[in-house]
Amino acid sequence: MLELYHWEPVADSAKLLILLEEKGLEYKSHYIDVLKFEQYSEEHLQRSAMARVPVLVAEGENLDLAKITMDYLVEAYSPRMAPADPRGWYEVQAWANVLDAGLRTNVSLLGWNTVMWHTMSKAERAEFNEKYANRPVKERPAGWAEVWSDAEANEDQLENARARIAETVEKMEAAIQDTGWLVGGVYSVADMNAYALTYTLPRLTPRIVNEAKTPGMIEWLYRIGERPAVKKVLARRRDARTGDVYAPPA
């Protein structure tokens, strides 16, 4: 049986959970609380030397690169839920690169700094900073220390993140307005990947994603959010705060 070690249904964890559910695959779920640094436990480091989350265990192998793991699930199990022709598959990969470059770090940066960090108590912040400080320097996310320690001193950094998000959203809106989906006019892994990275944006960045500016994307988010597999995944949320953010630094 497949096993997935994951955090909340956001970002990389969400897209693998959604794909597993959409394919109807049997798998065992294991929750890794990254806010408590469980990804650095000795047990988890045996699965991923870089403390990555999520990790899919398949055929005795630990797969800890979410993008490539998504490709593996496409190829290994039916239904494919992705174009079989080379051109269509290229477009799926191209969108994955666009989304990673424009959204992954930027939405995480913005969500952590403007939502998650402010909901934590003084004790929780102190505990998080202590655990962060005790990690080897090579394991610390580049640029994050300043962001979570002093938000006001980094407004330029946050505005740059918003600008990059807006650029990517504009590209998505154009594609969705054209065919209703990102690739080939049908729901695919490209949409699952994008949804996992964007479904919080109407709340996190309402000036960027809203009915007036991005009607196609709003309707696209609704259609995907109504799918039974997606509803099942989002119902796994344990921390209510993650409904408004993408992910903490990891």
pLDDT score of 192 = 98
| Same domain flag for 97 and 43 | no
Residue 241 has, within 13 A of its CA and on its CB side, a CA count of: 13
pLDDT score of 232 = 97
pLDDT score of 77 = 97
pLDDT score of 230 = 97
pLDDT score of 149 = 53
Q: What is the CATH number of the domain that holds 9?
A: 3.40.30.10
Q: Of 12-21, 35-44, 116-125, 137-146, where does mean pLDDT reach its minimum?
A: 137-146
Residue where one domain finishes, among candidates 76, 99, 115: 76
| Same domain flag for 35 and 137 | no
Q: How confident is the model at residue 122 (pLDDT cuts 50, 70, 90)?
A: confident
pLDDT score of 153 = 40
Average pLDDT, the chain: 89
pLDDT beyond 60 at 164: yes
Residues of the domain holding 135: 86-234
Sign of the dihedral through C-alpha 160, 203, 232, 50: positive
In a domain, 122, yes or no: yes
| Same domain flag for 95 and 66 | no
pLDDT score of 120 = 79
| Model pLDDT for residues 97-115, shown as the tens digit of each residue | 999 999 988 888 888 887 7
Question: Looking at per-residue confidence, does 62 or 245 come out higher?
Answer: 62
| Same domain flag for 102 and 214 | yes
pLDDT (average), residues 202-223: 96
| Same domain flag for 198 and 131 | yes
Say how many domains are in the chain. 2
Question: Looking at per-residue confidence, does 142 or 43 come out higher?
Answer: 43
In a domain, 243, yes or no: no
| Same domain flag for 106 and 167 | yes
| Same domain flag for 48 and 150 | no
| Same domain flag for 118 and 48 | no
In a domain, 217, yes or no: yes
Q: What is the CATH number of the domain that holds 160?
A: 1.20.1050.10
Encode burial over 69-86: b for 16+ CB neighbours within 10 A, e otherwise: bbbbbbeebeeebbbeee
Q: How confident is the model at residue 213 (pLDDT cuts 50, 70, 90)?
A: very high
| Same domain flag for 147 and 49 | no
Question: Looking at per-residue confidence, does 65 or 37 come out higher?
Answer: 65
pLDDT (average), residues 78-94: 96
Distances (CA, A) of 242 to 99, 146, 230, 247: 19, 22, 15, 7
